[in-house]
Structure 1
Amino acid sequence: MEPSPLTQDSRPDIFQPKIVRLYEALFREDEDDVDLSEGFWEEFFLLRPDFAGLRRLLRSLGPDDLLHLHAHTQQLFLCALSRVRQAKAPADEVALETLTVFLDTALSKKYTNPSSDILSVLAGLHDADAVLSDFVATLDTVIRNGRDLNVRSKAIRAALSMTSSSFHTGLPTYFTHRDLFPSLMKFVQDCETSVQALPALYLLGVLVNYNKFEFQNPYRLRLDDFVNDSVIQKMITGFASTCVALRDAYVAVQDDLPEGWTLGSTLNYIGLGVLAPGSRPSTPVPAADEARSLFTALPGPEIGVFLAIYDFANANKLFCFNLVTMTPAEKGNPSPLGSFLSLTSYLFQHAHRSYRSSLYTYLSLFILQILVEDQILVKRLCGDESKVSIRLCRQRQPYLPIVKGDRVAVAVILDLVVDGVNHNLRRRLDVELYILNLGVLLRILSYLSKAKARISYHWSELWRTLLSFMRFLSTYVSDIKPIYRSSDMVDQLVNVLAFALSNGENFLPDPAAYDDLFYKLVETGDIVTKFRNTFELASRSGPNSIQTLINVSSHYRSLLESGEKKSSKILSPREVSTVIKQGYETLSIESSDGLDRWEKYREADMKVLLKKIARAVVDDARVLVEEKVT
């Protein structure tokens, strides 16, 4: 029998998808074949993509390699754009995701002349304006009227990838030449779930912050007069869902529910009382080093949506009103404000772990400051209609007392302040974080005093925390004093304490709570005098707050020493309290005018920080895009 003419090829050791071979052909150096055929591109956008393979290939090429291959990269950009415009499945989706991966990877390289080199890679210097303007216009059309929500969402990710690259390279973002705001808001309105709206909100935050201090950013102006309640509420609901997911990532590392709680009370505490039947699964506890590493990597990149929430809160009173007043979508779930405060408590306890984490903590403090500065909103935050029951972080000692049941929102914010002070103490102190933290506290106390609003709160924990902070600063004065703005922080701390002494009777719930403040100050001993001397406060201009503290402390010390001499024994706590009550009759506290003075939040004052925050958000956007396009 003659041998068969058919032979079987041996199977390759590693199977390579055909699309990967096309990627290799696209980026192969071959000067004799500059123009790739239409058939090549037709197949390219119809095959199942391998974006991990495309990323690997692009990352293996240096910036000079891509510049040398500019003829092919330009063809890729133009042909992908053509498929997006044609709006035919699956080519348009493949084209959008290919563009996203290409832009994210190719534009992140360190070019010698970033702006001009990138334009050469994408379109050529001569045609750059026309091609990139067409790119933006095409994405705008897809975001607004794409054939389905999935394609529109992919167009948003492509725009986010391009805009993120512009931050790092100085490449002009053509998205500021064409207003995408109406399309993004229409996308949000069309979303079936609030979570689907998040890509649009993320992109908006990046666009609003592109060179916002260098020119009049059109997106920033759009936020001021936006009054569509349904869209605002959908964005806030999506933001709340993100907060819960980000908070749960911290809980997954270390479950911090108080010991001894029943399952029912536990679920009620975290806002999931409707799920009380059943049992809570146990999770393995990571080792200390592993937990530290896991915590340092948090929060996840979705946290970048905070930037758009901040910008809306800073520009739009209707947005703030909805954020504060919106109720849960389902009974038993936390409100959007409750979800935000819950995540913020975890950010506060872990802000020290990385500079990135501290930047997002600043952003949450900006939002809190904006809310408590508004007299209408802070009144609501202090009222019974704001009561919430939320999970607060208990992953590091010292722990705050457990309060079961609902509390007014301002009480929760005070807990955040206390945790922020207690859990970020270190010699290289994050002074800016403490200034912001104390600023939120001062605004709250100022309102409570003027409104004579008395809220239920463990005030003794607040006074103990502030006086312990004073002791810490006195101990590490040589480390703290050289830090920029440390003197502002010191003044703010002293002013808060002096204001509380002068006005505590206006907002503390009863005389016993007011007595306790004096008791805590007397208990501090000579720390206040040492604090004045080490930070050279006696010569400061303005309200002499430190002298107020020293005068009160000295007044009661003399009374207590006199009482001990008369009784020939050390006074008991009850006897000390009696002396404090009696001492009011002979105590003279200087006028507190100016102690609660604060400047309304001005974005320009935070320009340096906001630029750093925007860059962190851009970096997270790129991580998020890569996770979504796999």
Structure 2
Amino acid sequence: MEPSPLTQDSRPEIFQPKIIHLYKSLFKEDDDDGELSDGFWQEFFLHRPEAVGLKRMLAAISPDEMLHQQARSQQLFRRAILRVKQAKPPADEIALETLTVFLDAALTKKYTNPSSDIISVLAGLHDADTVMTDFVATLDTAIRSGRSMPLRLKAVRATLSITAAGFQTALPSYFTHRDLFPSLMKYVQDCETSVEVLPALYLLGLLTNYNKFEFQNPYRLRLDDFVNDAIIQQMIVCFGGACTKLRDAYVAVQDDMPEGWTLGSTLNYIGLGALAPSSRPTTPVPAPEEAKSLFAALPGPEMGVLLSIYDFANANKVFCFNLVIVGSEDKSELSPLSAYLSLTSYLFQHAHRSTRAALYTYLTLFVLQILVEDQLLVKRLCSDEMKLSVRLCRQRQPYLPIVKGERVPAAIMLDLIVDGINHNLRRRLDGDFYILSLGVLLRLLSYLSRAKVRITYHWSELWRTLLAFVRFLTTYESDIKSNYKSTKMIDILVNLLAFALSSGEHFLPDPASYDDLFYKLVESGDTLIKFRDAFGLSSQSGSMQTLINVSAHYQSLLEGDEKGKARSKHLSPQEVTAVIKQGYETLSIDASEGLDRWEKFREADVKTLLKKIARATVDDAKALNEDI
């Protein structure tokens, strides 16, 4: 057979997209600072960006080299702004996508003088105000009235990128000079999906927290008087969806369905039986060390959206009201409040796994505290009309009793606090977490007592948990004392127990529940004395003495009958309960007034924590932008 006249050229070893060659031309290492031609930019903004390649190229450039090449980066920045202003497809979308990658990579480098160096890289010090003002105005217009929702979403993401990347510099101040709030709200109003809403809501949180304690932040002022229910509800539904996704990530690591349950029975349990599949898929169970590592990486970056929810809740009563009452548009899905409480349950059980997770638990507790401090809202949270079903975390023992069916939100909140107290006991105790948790508990019980509201709850679990916490603190006295916040935490704990003892008849559902509190207190008599002595509470704590006096009163009754005869040392629980009932007649509880008093939430009191939370949210915003 004669050889074919056709020959095959050898293939190049690596195919590179044309845009990669253009990136190399843009950031080549030479001293040529000349303006690149219009033809170059025309071609540049016709090719879809290659994010991985651009990131890799920019990562290889040192901060000093970036400053050295600032003429080229300034050209890219100005040309991209121009393409967005011209609003011609596909160049405007390509420009926004390129800016998002470029800004995130270029602005997060460790410059010697971050604020001035970043301005040099983007605009040059002489033209900074003009270029940056034009940039912000261009983004503002694109967000509010861009030619398409995909373009508007890209504009939001670009704004989020520059805000997050430059958060520790003066760069975001340009977004406070020009108020983007109306445009962001118009954008949210026009969104059709939660995916579109999320970055805008996230961005609002960052803008609201930018230097919020150093000057009067205009976005914080905007939150105060915003009353558009439709837009607020869109944001809350978006938040609910994010909570469900974040919660499901915990379940994916370890499916904590109660033993013997099926997905179908669980759906029936939460009122969604019609959605039950014929069979339940199984997921492999990770090894303990792998599970530990996976849990430590949670929650996902979407968690940062909670910062916006917190700021809105702290500033705006209308927002709080909607957060409590808004239901899901799709009846097969959880309401935002249900999704939020479910996520909180998982977050609390794993709060100790990382500093980042702990910071978000504080933020969650801030929101819960704000809700229960509002008398109208807490009344709703205790109302049978507000009953809902919430999947609570059961990934670690001890487990709370399973309650089938719907419950009032306040009962679920009590479970969250009980679980949080039980699952974060460490020698290096997180004082902030326990102070906030006990504070939410005090506010809830205070309302129940004053309003004489009796909700269905397994109260014995609450008393068992609080007294077990007393035992833990006593056991690890030296470690606890080294925590400077322990004094405040212990004061709240003691006052809470004394308040329950003196006012329980106003909120506990029946005499048996009240008897149980006394029973558990008597059981803990020796521990209470050791606790008092360990933390020096003999003189300054009237509440502590009240607890010990009550315990001592019943101990004397249990040791001898009314005629002074010694009782058997082995009394049954029923006999002890009978003695407790008899003892009420001779019991005098000298509880100090005002045990249920609390100070309204103030940002200034948690300023340090909020600054740390904002920094964590900034890091998550960068990760979120990569994932969207």
Fold conserved (TM > 0.5)? Answer: yes
The residue correspondences of 1:216-615 to structure 2 (distance < 5 A) are 216-269=216-269, 272-540=272-540, 544-563=542-561, 566-615=566-615
**Shift in Å, 1:525:** 2.9
Q: Which runs of 5+ in 1 are unaligned?
A: none
**Shift in Å, 1:547:** 0.3
**Deviations 1:201-245 (Å, cap 9, x if unpaired)?**
010000000000100000000111111110011110111011101
Q: Counterpart in 2 of 1:148?
A: 148
Q: Counterpart in 2 of 1:626?
A: 626
Give the counterpart letter for 2:77 in structure 1: F
Taking the aligned partners of 1:178 and 1:472, their CA distance within structure 2 comes to 53
**Shift in Å, 1:172:** 4.9
Contact 2:262 2:280 (8 Å CA) reproduced: no
**Shift in Å, 1:557:** 0.7
**Deviations 1:80-121 (Å, cap 9, x if unpaired)?**
111111111111111101111111011101101111111110
**Deviations 1:246-287 (Å, cap 9, x if unpaired)?**
000000000001112244321134564331242220111010
Residues 271 and 622 of structure 1: CA distance in aligned 2, closer, same or farther (over 3 Å): farther
TM-score by length of 2: 0.97
Taking the aligned partners of 2:488 and 2:354, their CA distance within structure 1 comes to 24
Give the counterpart letter for 2:102 in structure 1: F
**Shift in Å, 1:27:** 0.8
Give the counterpart letter for 2:105 in structure 1: T
Give the counterpart letter for 2:467 in structure 1: L
Contact 1:114 1:171 (8 Å CA) reproduced: no
Contact 1:166 1:173 (8 Å CA) reproduced: no
**Deviations 1:165-188 (Å, cap 9, x if unpaired)?**
222234352000000000000011
Taking the aligned partners of 1:243 and 1:481, their CA distance within structure 2 comes to 36
Q: Counterpart in 2 of 1:76?
A: 76
Taking the aligned partners of 2:56 and 2:544, their CA distance within structure 1 comes to 61
Q: Counterpart in 1 of 2:18?
A: 18
**Shift in Å, 1:14:** 1.4
Q: Counterpart in 1 of 2:55?
A: 55
Give the counterpart letter for 2:133 in structure 1: S
Taking the aligned partners of 2:103 and 2:326, their CA distance within structure 1 comes to 38
Contact 1:334 1:388 (8 Å CA) reproduced: no
Q: Counterpart in 2 of 1:197?
A: 197
**Shift in Å, 1:340:** 0.6
Taking the aligned partners of 2:307 and 2:270, their CA distance within structure 1 comes to 25
Contact 1:414 1:441 (8 Å CA) reproduced: yes
Contact 2:543 2:591 (8 Å CA) reproduced: no
**Shift in Å, 1:568:** 3.9
**Deviations 1:571-628 (Å, cap 9, x if unpaired)?**
1111100000001111110134111110000011111000110110000000111223
Taking the aligned partners of 1:567 and 1:590, their CA distance within structure 2 comes to 27
Contact 1:143 1:184 (8 Å CA) reproduced: yes
Residues 134 and 422 of structure 1: CA distance in aligned 2, closer, same or farther (over 3 Å): same
Q: Which runs of 5+ in 2 are unaligned?
A: none
Contact 1:269 1:390 (8 Å CA) reproduced: no
Give the counterpart letter for 1:152 in structure 2: R
Give the counterpart letter for 1:201 in structure 2: L
Identity of aligned residues (%): 73
Return 591-600 or 107-116, whichever deviates more.
591-600
TM-score by length of 1: 0.97
Contact 1:271 1:333 (8 Å CA) reproduced: no
- Runs (4+) of structure 1 exceeding 4 A deviation are 4-9
Contact 1:195 1:241 (8 Å CA) reproduced: no
Taking the aligned partners of 1:171 and 1:5, their CA distance within structure 2 comes to 64
Q: Counterpart in 1 of 2:110?
A: 110
Q: Counterpart in 2 of 1:97?
A: 97
**Deviations 1:385-405 (Å, cap 9, x if unpaired)?**
110111000000000000000
**Deviations 1:397-429 (Å, cap 9, x if unpaired)?**
000000000111100000000001000000010
Return 264-273 or 244-253, whichever deviates more.
264-273
Contact 2:33 2:71 (8 Å CA) reproduced: no
**Shift in Å, 1:537:** 1.3
Aligned length: 623
Contact 2:271 2:405 (8 Å CA) reproduced: no
Q: Counterpart in 1 of 2:164?
A: 164
**Shift in Å, 1:75:** 0.3
Taking the aligned partners of 1:401 and 1:13, their CA distance within structure 2 comes to 63
Contact 1:273 1:332 (8 Å CA) reproduced: no
Give the counterpart letter for 1:180 in structure 2: L
Q: Are residue 88 (structure 1) and residue 88 (structure 2) matched?
A: yes
Taking the aligned partners of 1:432 and 1:242, their CA distance within structure 2 comes to 26
Contact 1:307 1:617 (8 Å CA) reproduced: yes
